Amino acid sequence: MTEYIDSATFDHLVSLAALELDAGQAEYLRRELNHQLDAIRELEAIPLPDELTITSHGVPYPPQTSQPPRADQVTPWAQPSAILDQAPQVDDDQIVVPDIPHTTLE
Amino acid sequence: MELCDLSAHELSRMLRRGDTSAREITQACLQRIDQVDGRPGSLEAGEITAEDRQRVHAFITVTAERALAQADAVDRKLAAGDDPGALAGIPVAIKDIFCVEGTPSTAASRILANFNAPYTATPVQRMEAAGAITLGKVNLDEFTFGSSSESSAFQPSPRNPWNPDHVPGGSSGGSTACVAAGEAPLSLGTDTAGSLRQPAAFCGVVGLKPTYGRVSRYGLIAFGSSLDCPGPVARDVTDTAMMMQVIAGVDPRDATTANVPTPDYLAELEKDIRGLRIGLSPDYFRISIPDPVSGEYIQRDLPAEMYGSVLRAANLLRSMGAEIIDDVPMPNTRYGIPAYFVVSRVEAASNLHRFDGVKYGHRTAQPMNDLRKLYRVSRNEGFGLQPKLRILMGMYVSAAQYSEQYYNRALKVRTLIRRDFDQVFDRSGKYRLDALLTPTTPTTAFQMGAVYGDSVMMQFADQLTVPANHAGVPGLSLPGGLDQEGLPIGIQLLGPDFSEDVLLRIGRAFERATADDDWRQVKPRVLR
């Protein structure tokens, strides 16, 4: 199996993904990522004409079947408490989070 | 036969004739759940016991009181002579990837284990407005990421009612297992790469992936937003049509739903299929998988039983007047999984960034004084391995330096896959097909634990279903027989955009032609 993702690249990805992994998880996940990239390699062999455009969704959206854009207006939610009840920490109807420690940019 | 074993349309007739009540139907389903389901999925499951290995474990949450209250409301409407709705008194089980107001909506993940949805998904809201009885939430692969339902954080994970040593498929494994076991006549699932059709095939039930945009995704916890399709699971085609009739249609809350009229699916069902052109493609009779040692792709023919079931169905449909067209080329079918590895992971990574331990869901109990650390620890504790794998892969293949090589290339391959379908369904083209007839899966249900952990081989279980998700076209999986081990074989019909009515009509014709077959009389093992 080719090692497409080395340890340093993997650690960078983990940081960008806002994850924190133990050694066992990291080993499994890096192995599976490389395994999947091996499987994806098949794509490189497909001849793609220059004029070929991308498809971001399969079904076309012609104007006659598309919905008009929604009005750009605020609709108050009937029960804000039902949403706030789901937040892990709330104070005076505000969701509480820890601070972001100050970092000096260099 | 007990009430819970009857079809939704039979129950509906009985209810309207006054032969039974919504409460009796609901109680019969709740009793069946008690008999066959075993303990519900839980984060603290402990060891899986011998008893667990004989049960279905479809449900995470059973909302019995809510269901009985809904049933009583239907009975009151009937007694008053009011119209109780098209699905009145029919119990449904909801894949736990949909929000249902006031009930746990977990996505089978620890990160949402404590989340009670503050609103209800449109397809569920439409079914409840039509009188359906919501029995509860059924298990799935975590965030739908899998093809066996084994990756759920809520264990024991669902097992196949035909043989509980085998998987029910996934990710809608709880949906298809509970319908097969008579716990509910209907279930709402989702299909992103085959997550309705593959488990439907494995459990011997019907699963319909509608055209992308036919059924609203509002209230569906997103995985791959350009691929996800909510759809019905039922024990027969008529029940599938009944449910589609209610859930289909444009929704102002989902801008991707199409403003296309919804046909009368039930009225179309019994029409004959004379003159319909149904294609067979050799590209769906072989599979392409990476060799575990060399990594090179190797092509294999499908098992003879799978191939034979499709050919037999084709012959039956021909005898009913359909025209069978052989050798239909679908050359880009083999690229469906490699392209899916890229497209779905990018969309999953994007969608999973919202789970951060701040607004809802799991937050670490460890004291934190840094928001960034809170994100990392909460997400690490909350996500299982499969979501983590998808996030990492999605971020890698969409990174600026790799996106041309991977993401943009996969989206172009998606164009080629769509083009295959456009060409064979083109009304003025060479083939002019109304449908393609294929196997649903390369194999029947595999054993629990046989593939789980190998994320590549697990994905290849969707090889024959994923092209329809790339293209957005509808797909219907039907029971097509049993293999030598007594496990169900699924056959699949694929059609042009918004042709669900035609697929259901062909499926119903196949049901009529095989109604007296021996395999149709066999029950899943948990019911024998």
Where does the pLDDT of residue B92 fall: very low under 50, low under 70, confident under 90, or very high at 90 and above? Answer: very high
Where does the pLDDT of residue A105 fall: very low under 50, low under 70, confident under 90, or very high at 90 and above? Answer: confident
CB contact under 8 A, B260 and A5: no
CB contact under 8 A, A33 and B396: yes
Mean pLDDT of B514-526: 98
Minimal-distance CA residue of chain A relative to B418: A58
Token digits of residue A103: 């970092």
Where does the pLDDT of residue B322 fall: very low under 50, low under 70, confident under 90, or very high at 90 and above? Answer: very high
Q: With beta carbons under 8 A apart, name residues in chain A contacting B473.
A: 58-59
pLDDT at B294 over 80: no
CB contact under 8 A, A19 and B360: no
The minimum CA-CA distance between B216 and chain A, rounded to whole Å, is 13
Catalytic residue numbers of B read 95, 171, 195
Are residues B300 and B286 in contact, defined by beta-carbon separation less than 8 angstroms?
yes
Mean pLDDT of B160-168: 98
Question: Across the A/B interface, how many CB contacts are shorter than 8 Å?
Answer: 196
pLDDT at B462 over 90: yes
pLDDT at A1 over 80: no
Q: What local confidence, expressed as pLDDT, does residue B352 receive? A: 98
pLDDT at B141 over 80: yes
Least confident of A24-28, B145-149, B150-154, B455-459: B455-459
Q: What is the DSSP letter of B283?
A: G
∠ CA B459-B499-B183, rounded to 5°:
60
- Pseudo-torsion of CA B31, B34, B37, B40, nearest 10°? 130
Q: What local confidence, expressed as pLDDT, does residue A5 receive? A: 94
pLDDT in tens, B415-435: 999 999 999 999 999 999 999
Pick from B135, B120, B113, B509: which is nearest to B313 by CA? B509
The minimum CA-CA distance between A23 and chain B, rounded to whole Å, is 13
B3-261: CATH, from 3.40.50.970, 3.90.1300.10, 3.40.50.2000, 3.30.1280.10 = 3.90.1300.10
A56 near B CB under 8 A: yes
The minimum CA-CA distance between A8 and chain B, rounded to whole Å, is 13
Are residues B339 and B414 in contact, defined by beta-carbon separation less than 8 angstroms?
yes
∠ CA B169-B460-B222, rounded to 5°:
65
Mean pLDDT of B449-462: 91
Backbone angles phi, psi at B108, to 5 degrees: 55, 30
Where does the pLDDT of residue A102 fall: very low under 50, low under 70, confident under 90, or very high at 90 and above? Answer: confident
Mean pLDDT of B332-347: 96
Q: With beta carbons under 8 A apart, name residues in chain B contacting A88.
A: 357-358, 360-363
Q: Spell out the domain ranges in chain B.
A: 3-261, 337-406
The minimum CA-CA distance between B100 and chain A, rounded to whole Å, is 13
pLDDT in tens, B170-194: 999 999 999 999 999 999 999 999 9
Tell me the β-bridge partners of B230. Answer: B190
Pick from B53, B18, B17: which is nearest to B447 by CA? B53
Where does the pLDDT of residue B377 fall: very low under 50, low under 70, confident under 90, or very high at 90 and above? Answer: very high
Minimal-distance CA residue of chain A relative to B363: A88
Backbone angles phi, psi at A90, to 5 degrees: -130, 140
Length of chain A: 106
CB contact under 8 A, A18 and B412: no
pLDDT at B47 over 90: yes
Q: With beta carbons under 8 A apart, name residues in chain B contacting A25.
A: 385, 388
CB contact under 8 A, A44 and B116: no
Q: What local confidence, expressed as pLDDT, does residue B343 receive? A: 97
pLDDT at B295 over 80: no
C-alpha B481/C-alpha B426 separation (Å) is 31
Nearest by CB to residue B392, choosing from A33, A38, A88, is A33
Give me the helices (H) in B280-370, please: 304-319, 336-352
Mean pLDDT of B124-129: 98
CB contact under 8 A, A59 and B212: yes
Residue A12, CA distances (Å) to A8, A9, A15, A20, A46 in order = 6, 5, 5, 11, 30
Nearest by CB to residue A67, choosing from B259, B397, B415, is B259
Matching residue, tokens 């169905």: B313
Least confident of B78-87, B317-326, B400-409, B440-449: B400-409
Q: Which residue has the higher pLDDT, B345 or B292?
A: B345
Upper half-sphere CA count for residue A48 (Cβ side, 13 Å): 23
Q: With beta carbons under 8 A apart, name residues in chain A contacting B226.
A: 56-58
pLDDT in tens, B214-228: 999 999 999 999 999
pLDDT in tens, A75-85: 899 999 999 99
Q: What local confidence, expressed as pLDDT, does residue A104 receive? A: 87
C-alpha B376/C-alpha B379 separation (Å) is 5
Where does the pLDDT of residue B108 fall: very low under 50, low under 70, confident under 90, or very high at 90 and above? Answer: very high
pLDDT in tens, B307-316: 999 999 999 9
CB contact under 8 A, B413 and A86: no
CB contact under 8 A, A58 and B473: yes
pLDDT at B119 over 90: yes
C-alpha B264/C-alpha B457 separation (Å) is 40
pLDDT at B293 over 80: no
Where does the pLDDT of residue B376 fall: very low under 50, low under 70, confident under 90, or very high at 90 and above? Answer: very high
Minimal-distance CA residue of chain B relative to A71: B252
pLDDT at A45 over 90: no
In this prediction the ipTM stands at: 0.95
pLDDT in tens, B247-262: 999 999 999 999 999 9
Q: What local confidence, expressed as pLDDT, does residue B202 receive? A: 98
Minimal-distance CA residue of chain A relative to B398: A13
Give me the helices (H) in A1-106, please: 7-16, 23-40, 80-84
Q: What is the DSSP letter of B285?
A: S
Q: What local confidence, expressed as pLDDT, does residue B157 receive? A: 98
The mean predicted confidence, pLDDT, of chain B is 97
Q: With beta carbons under 8 A apart, name residues in chain B contacting A32.
A: 389, 455-456
Are residues B203 and B161 in contact, defined by beta-carbon separation less than 8 angstroms?
yes
Q: What local confidence, expressed as pLDDT, does residue A70 receive? A: 85
CB contact under 8 A, B395 and A16: yes
The minimum CA-CA distance between B125 and chain A, rounded to whole Å, is 17
Q: What local confidence, expressed as pLDDT, does residue A2 receive? A: 82
